[in-house]
């Protein structure tokens, strides 16, 4: 059984966590990142994830969608709520 995870904030730490989660094959045995909550639009988020000034370019496929980001075929829903209590936790099964 895996646990669904949402990242609240897609700044330096949120992006670094997602890079590690995507790269670590063992991580996917236990958890899946299903959503990101950030006030930035998906297009900007995808660009910032793909081109990191410290860690360099993410070599995988990163594409923004209308409601999220697709990274290496993995769909991530993007939410934009200032108040985390208003996020769709039950819908995302978190």
Q: What is the pLDDT of residues 5-56, one digit of tens each?
A: 999 999 999 999 999 999 998 998 999 999 999 999 999 999 999 999 999 9
pLDDT of residue 28: 87
What CATH code is carried by the domain that includes residue 25? 3.40.50.720
For 55-83, the DSSP string reads: TEE--S-EEE-SSEEEETTEEEEEE--SS
Give backbone dihedrals phi and psi of 23, rounded to 5 degrees, phi first.
-85, -25
pLDDT of residue 87: 92
pLDDT of residue 77: 98
Looking at the structure of the chain, the number of domains it has is 1
Structure tokens of 8? 């609240």
Q: How far apart are CA 10 and CA 19, in angstroms?
A: 11
Could you list the residue range(s) of the whole structural domain that residue 57 is in? 3-92
């Amino acid at each position: 059984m895996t646990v669904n995870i949402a990242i609240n904030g897609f700044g330096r730490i949120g992006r670094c966590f997602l890079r590690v989660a995507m790269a670590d094959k063992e991580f996917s045995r236990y958890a899946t990142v299903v959503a990101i909550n950030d006030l930035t639009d998906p297009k900007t988020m995808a660009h910032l994830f793909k081109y990191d000034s410290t860690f360099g370019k993410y070599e995988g496929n990163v594409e923004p969608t209308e409601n999220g980001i697709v990274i290496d075929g993995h769909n991530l829903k993007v939410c934009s709520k200032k108040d985390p209590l208003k996020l769709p936790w039950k819908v995302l099964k978190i």
